Amino acid sequence: MNPAQRALWYIESHLAEPMTLDEIAAIGGVSRFHMVRAFAAATGFPVMRYVRARRLSEAARSLAKGAPDILSVALEADYGSHEAFTRAFRDQFGTTPETVRAATCTHQLRLQEPILMDSTISSNLKAPRFETAKAFLVAGIAERISCDNGAIIPGMWARFHQQVADIPERVGQGKNEEKNRVAYGVCCNGDDSGNFDYIAGVEVRDFSDLPRGFGRIRIPEQRYAVFTHSDHVASIRRTVNAIWNQWLPASSYKAADAPNFERYDEKFDPVTGNGGFEIWVPVKE
């Protein structure tokens, strides 16, 4: 059973009890950092947002059935006050607990049902090679990514190809640039809610003349497990899922809390999405 499956089992079987990300990660046998990535790769949800959505959905069902005491429902959902519960309920569903109780139904609500794990893990993940990469700089188009807006990443790459010529100090610029064309999709600055910064960019020599509006990241020297994704770029999530929920837990390595990235060389065709690329995952013994 992989970390995401263990987490789902624990969440669903302890939904009425207090739980923390540390506890969920411990059940999965991995670090907080690993659990955040593994769960999001498998389900598309940040761990604790899923917990909150499931609790509020069950609370909504209780209210629709006529629960007489909203505070009791709030406490069961791990909220310490009526006010905190109402704010979270309104944020989740766009309405109040009182309204749902009065309506005696949840048809108008978008409830979060339990996730049934499926076989979305790639079945053809090849063994990685290992490399230690020296520190380097990447500059490009940057956005903060959450589970709600991950679909903007392809559009970020379209903007990158339109603006890459405006990035100064590009490594490889001016000398057989097509042959040396390498782009990076960097995931960095992740938090416990599953949000992270994504930079679609290129390696640069320094940031001193980089125009405002471009994102930047210094990637430190690091040991990596390097995986090849040979299929269309649209299926990247299946490979990422396999890495975090299958290969890494079964390996002798742990995930290092450092940026991970996709590396696109001249074989990748950004027009068709074909050609393959590499996924570099930071690891430690």
Residue by residue, DSSP assigns 77-129 as TT-SSHHHHHHHHHHHHSS-HHHHHHHT--TTS---PPP---S-S-S-PPPPE
Residue 170: DSSP 8-state: B
CATH architecture for residues 129-284 = Alpha-Beta Barrel (3.20)
Whether the pTM exceeds 0.85: the reply is: no
Residue 229 has pLDDT above 50, yes or no: yes
The predicted model gives 167-185 an average pLDDT of 77
Antiparallel, parallel or unpaired: β 277-284 and 196-204: unpaired
For the chain, residues classed under CATH 1.10.10.60 are 3-103
Q: Name the nearest CA neighbour of 139 among 236, 46, 207.
A: 207
For the chain, residues classed under CATH 3.20.80.10 are 129-284
Assign residue 175 a region (left: φ > 0; alpha: ψ between -120 and 50; beta: otherwise): beta
Pair 269, 275: CB distance under 8 Å: yes
Residue 2: strand, helix, or coil: coil
Condensed to tens digits (0 to 9), the pLDDT of residues 113-140 reads 888 655 456 677 899 999 999 999 999 9
CATH of segment(s) 3-103? 1.10.10.60
